[in-house]
Structures are given as C-alpha cells and as structure tokens.
Amino acid sequence: MLPFNKEDFIRYDMKFLEEQGVKPYYLDLSNLFFKSEIESPTTPDLIPYFKSFKNRKDFKAFMLENKDDSILALDLPLRAKTTWLYRMMTNVNIHYIGLNTRWFPRGLRNKDKKAQLKKITLPYLLRKLKFELEYQTCRKFVRKADAVFIPNNKSKKYNQVISEKTLKYYSHSSDYDQAMLSEGNVSEEYIVFIDVYYPHHPDLKLYGLLTSESSEDYHKNMNHLFKLLEEKTGKKVIICAHPRRPKDRENEFEFPLVYNKTSEYIKKAALVVNHYSTAVNYVVIYNKPLLFVTMDAFSENGSKKLIEIVASRLGSTIINGNHLNSADLDNQDYLKINNKLYQEFLNENIIHSQSSKNRFGKDLLNCISKIK
C-alpha cells in the first residue's frame, strides 16, 4: 500500500472539493488489513487531509461519530478479505460510494509453487473457509451502495453491492481527469521511464512477489538500456520516480529523477518506457510511443505475463533487459503507435461510452447532493 501522496490528492480532486465546501479526508486502512506500520503522508502539507487508525475498533468509532454528516467514498470492492469492512459499514449504517478510479489488468502473483504449498496448512484452510462463509453471508445482507462510479465499459467491481436504488455514474479513469487538468510545463521532449521502485517496493514482499534478481543487476541493465536509447534517439532520459523511492536510492539510476510529475512528462514524451505501471493510461490518453521492458525474473511473479497482455493490446514492442544489445534498438518500431489499438484501449478501459467527461470532483459533488 502506498503512503498518501500528491498524486492521490490530485486523483481524488481534494483541493476542488475543499473549495466547494466539502472537507475531504484520506482514510488510511492499510493497518487494518495488513497490520502494517502506518506511514505518514509523503509531504507535510497533506497531513491535515490524512487520518489513520490503530485498529478496527477505532475506525468503527470514527464512523459512528461522523456518520450523520459524512459519506465514505471507497475504492475497495466486496471480496472475502473486505467482508469485515462492509459488515462494519452495514452495522453503522453509513452512506457510501463505490469508486473505481484506475484500471489495470490483474496478473502479479506468486508463482513459487513450493512456497504456495507450504501455506496450505489446516489453519490456513480453516481461515480460508471462514473468510468464504463470511463473504457469502455478507453478500446477502450487506448495505447496498448509495452510488457507484463506473469508469469503463468492462467494470463489474461493485456488482455485489448495487441495488435498484443505487445511483450509477458512468465516468472515466482518474488518469483521464489528471491528463485533462495537467498544466504541461515541461519544455523538452524526453524519453520517460515510469519507475515502479523494483525490486524494493514493500508490496512485493508483502504479497510474496519478490524475485531472484538483485537490485544491482536490475539497475545495471536499466541504465544500460537508457544509455542505448539516448544514443539511438538523440533524446535525454528522465525517470518519473515512484512516490516511495527514498532519496538515498535515487543514485541507483544514472539519470535525473522527478517526483509527482508523471502526467506532465508523459504529455511531452518522445517515448515512454514502462514495466507494468498503471500510468500506461497516460500514455494512451496522450497517444505516445510505448516500449515495454521485461526481465527474466519477471516470469517468477507473473509480471512478465502482465506486460505481454498489455503490450499485445496496445501493439507495443517488448524487449528483455537482461539480453539487450545495441542492434536490438536499431529497428525503431518502438517509436511507432498503433492508433487503432490505442483508441480501442481508451474506449474500453479509460473512458466509459456514456461518460459526461466531467471532472471527478464535480460528479462527486453532484452525487453527494443526491444522497444527503
């Protein structure tokens, strides 16, 4: 789980909501799901918008205290692991809206069969059975959503909690909003790499997705690729750093880094280089060339397959960073765009066919006015 950051603040249109008289809070529930250490927002100016909870009891008390003048807007569908949350919301009887701000195909998974088999113990099976029984029961008695946001024509995220009274807002990905609002002050065309903070990202360990590739090997291969791309294209490489990358790891890349400006730099990019970031949506919205990079170790956690799925849907080139030589980049097909596939991806996954294309905050305010 990411700490609350500037991109979240922008994605949920929190400044606009506050200007319209709504006090928005980002509720960090990560500790309630994973018992992980609560992380502070990435910058001090975000602290007034942030609330965290030590345990579920504290969160329930917060909902009870604020339910009469508050609405929960959550980006968590009803699943076995979120049953406790939906049951709690039902008991408190609080209004809630189901959001679906970003789309990306699922694919990351632990492919270590030995590790998976070790998990299958009697306590594990009993816990899984308990979760499933609670989930099936919750489906029947859960409080239905007051409203749901449906950002694309494939979304079924909240089908379990939709009733005849649920308001449906056909919308678009939050990335589309950010792209439309982006000031785009970048003056030079760059080759933009979307950093996913591999292999240090805490979620890789949390979900058992670590691979055998060392950080040294990974960054050596990526720096080699970036140098070749600069030679072949005459463009400079810049890294759109992952929000979680700390200052003491910036020197792993031999190229300049920027934070919280992914949309702006992709808007002016000559080429975007990516593994499996959801920021690929910006690439499609801005209609930019996209080069996917896989690694041998990516086959260990499913990310190789994920890259292949998205690259196929966009008609983009894939290269393997472990087996790269200069000649691989001579044929510059990676600078071409399949406009037909990009448009199909945009229509199917980023903008719902019935979207008003209003900014997210405006639709949310309209939704709130109809609920309260």
What are the tens digits of pLDDT across the range 36-87?
666 777 688 999 999 999 899 999 999 999 999 999 999 989 988 899 999 9
Whether residue 111 has pLDDT greater than 80: no
81 and 162, same domain (yes or no): yes
Domain count, the chain: 2
44 and 173, same domain (yes or no): yes
Read off the CATH number of the domain in which 30 is found.
3.40.50
166 and 292, same domain (yes or no): no
How many CB atoms sit inside 10 A of residue 69's CB? 8
272, part of any domain: yes
Q: What's the pLDDT score for residue 301?
A: 82
One-letter identity of residue 296: D
282 and 319, same domain (yes or no): yes
361 and 240, same domain (yes or no): no
235, part of any domain: yes
233, part of any domain: yes
202, part of any domain: yes
Owning domain of residue 191: 185-345
CA atoms within 13 A on the CB side of 161: 30
Q: Which two tokens stand for residue 277?
A: 């970031």
113, part of any domain: yes
How many CB atoms sit inside 10 A of residue 38's CB? 12
One-letter identity of residue 178: Q
288, part of any domain: yes
Is the pTM above the cut of 0.75? Answer: yes
DSSP annotation of 147 reads E
Tell me if residue 369 falls in helix, strand or coil. helix
Q: Which two tokens stand for residue 301?
A: 């956690």
Question: Residue with structure tokens 């909003």?
Answer: 177
- At 169-202, the pLDDT tens digits run 999 988 898 888 777 677 789 999 999 999 988 7
For the purposes of burial, counting CB atoms within 10 Å of the CB of 155, is it exposed (0-12), middle (13-18) or buried (19 or more)? middle
- Listed range (52-61, 103-112, 125-134) with the worst mean pLDDT: 103-112
Query: What mean pLDDT do residues 280-306 have?
Result: 92
199 and 150, same domain (yes or no): no
119 and 135, same domain (yes or no): yes
122 and 222, same domain (yes or no): no
1, part of any domain: no
30 and 148, same domain (yes or no): yes
- At 328-352, the pLDDT tens digits run 899 899 999 999 999 999 988 899 9
Read off the CATH number of the domain in which 298 is found.
3.40.50.2000
Q: What's the pLDDT score for residue 361?
A: 93
367 and 309, same domain (yes or no): no
- Per the model's pLDDT, the better-predicted residue between 43 and 370 turns out to be 370
- At 229-284, the pLDDT tens digits run 999 999 999 999 998 888 899 999 999 999 988 999 999 999 999 998 889 999 99
Query: Which residue, among 96, 364, 101, has the nearest Cα to 86 in the 3D structure?
Result: 96
In angstroms, rounded to a whole number, what is the distance separating the alpha carbons of residues 93 and 91? 5
Q: What's the pLDDT score for residue 144?
A: 95
146 and 225, same domain (yes or no): no
Q: Please, which pLDDT band fits residue 228 given cuts at 50, 70 and 90?
A: very high
19 and 82, same domain (yes or no): yes
247, part of any domain: yes
Distances (CA, A) of 120 to 12, 114, 169: 39, 10, 41
